[in-house]
Structure formats: C-alpha cells, structure tokens
Structure 1
Amino acid sequence: MQYPEPIARLIDSYMKLPGIGQKTATRLAFYTIDMKEEVVNEFAKSLLSVKRDLHFCSICGNITEEDPCEICSDPTRDKETILVVEEPKDVMALEKVREYHGLYHVLHGVLSPMEGTGPE
C-alpha cells in the first residue's frame, strides 16, 4: 500500500535529515500527524526562522543573527588567538565551557590533504 501523497512527501523530507532512514522518517511523519496543529505550526516557523534569520559571520564563519557575530564583536576577546574548528556546533560547545576567550575560524567541513580536501 502506498501512503497518501502528503505523507509520502513528509517522509521524504524527514529522510533528508542526517541519520534518518525510511523507518524513522515514517515514524516521525505519523507522529507529526498526531501533533496539535499549533505545535506543527510552531515547528514549521522554527524551521523557516533558522533559514531566514541566521547567516554566517563574515569574519569567522560562525552562525549568527548579526554580522559580525557576538564573539567577533566582543572587545574583551583575545584577538591574538584564533581557534580553528570544523563546524558552528563546535563553537557552541566550546563557549558553554567558558574557558576559551579568543576568536574562532569555522571551516564548515574537514581539511584532509590525504583525501585532496584543502583550504579554498
């Protein structure tokens, strides 16, 4: 039996997320059907807001609502120290610890000279 088109599209959408296969996507789709409409609306607004309201800092490449980001704009940060990280989530994790006071450079991926992936 095939799913109705709206469910099939939702399953396909969930499967585009990393680590989500057919079975989990189907479970999420049917969970979404059972959610209250206002909860689904808030979820949809959150997804749209992330795409519309966030961008990358022109200095460090971190995700931000303002450009430059809060870290690059902070006059108390150590401007002589730059920590290179793979993803914005790494910046978030390090900032939670509150031990590092320098700046960051976000690569948005991994450098791997052995595999031919280098700086652009």
Structure 2
Amino acid sequence: MRRNRVVYLILIIIVMILGLLSRKLDNLPVIVSLYAGDILWALMVFLIVDFVFNNKPILFNISIAIIFSYGIEISQLYHAPWIDSIRNTTLGGLILGFGFLWSDLICYTIGIFIGGIIESIFKRINTKR
C-alpha cells in the first residue's frame, strides 16, 4: 500500500499542533495533560515514519517508530553537557526530552499502536472499494 504523502504531511502538522496544545492548555484534566503530549508525540513519529517509508508494511513502520521512540527515551538516561545544552533549547527539548520515565514508554506504545490501528482500518476500507 502506497501512502499519500500530502495526507500524511497534513496529519503530522495536525498532531504536532494538538501535542503542543496539550502542553499549553491549563484547563485539561490532569491525566490528559500528563500523558496526551507523549502519546501524540509517538503518533507523530509513526506518521513521519509512514511518510518516509510510504510503501512499507504497517508492521515495519510500527517497529521503526517504536525503536526510534524508545531510543530517544533511553537516551534521556545519558547526561553530558553537550546533549543537555541541546535539550535546553525549545526544539531540542521537544525532540529529545529531559528525563527518562517508564510511563513515557507506555505512552509511546499507545500512540504508535493507535496510529497503526487507524491505518489498518483505513487500509481495509480502501481495499473493499
């Protein structure tokens, strides 16, 4: 299945905006403000992987997204001046994060699997046409 890159680019932008809003809005329930940003970050990673590898199977893209997301989280265990200076920038903090949390791995898994499930549903709908 070849994915439409324009659609995926639009979805990436929407998910990025939602993720940033989840960190900025103060009136969200606590559980949403704690975990939605990480789930949406992982969904964005999945969509970017789909964008880059637009003709690969869903399971391949899920695997790449999980490896990348877990790798970023595990890298947060490493603290050296050079990488912490990158993390202290806005973009560096959004991409690399600051500290390792087991809950982030769970959120990443949820976000990536949400993307995989939605893509599987759309794939089935499109093959029935």
Common fold by TM > 0.5: no
Q: Which has the higher contact order (CA 8 A, sep 6+)?
A: 2
Larger radius of gyration: 1
- TM-score normalised by length of structure 2: 0.26
Identify, as 1 or 2, the structure richer in strand: 1
User: If each structure's helix is expressed as a fraction of its own residues, which one has the higher value?
Assistant: 2
**TM-score normalised by the chain length of structure 1:** 0.28
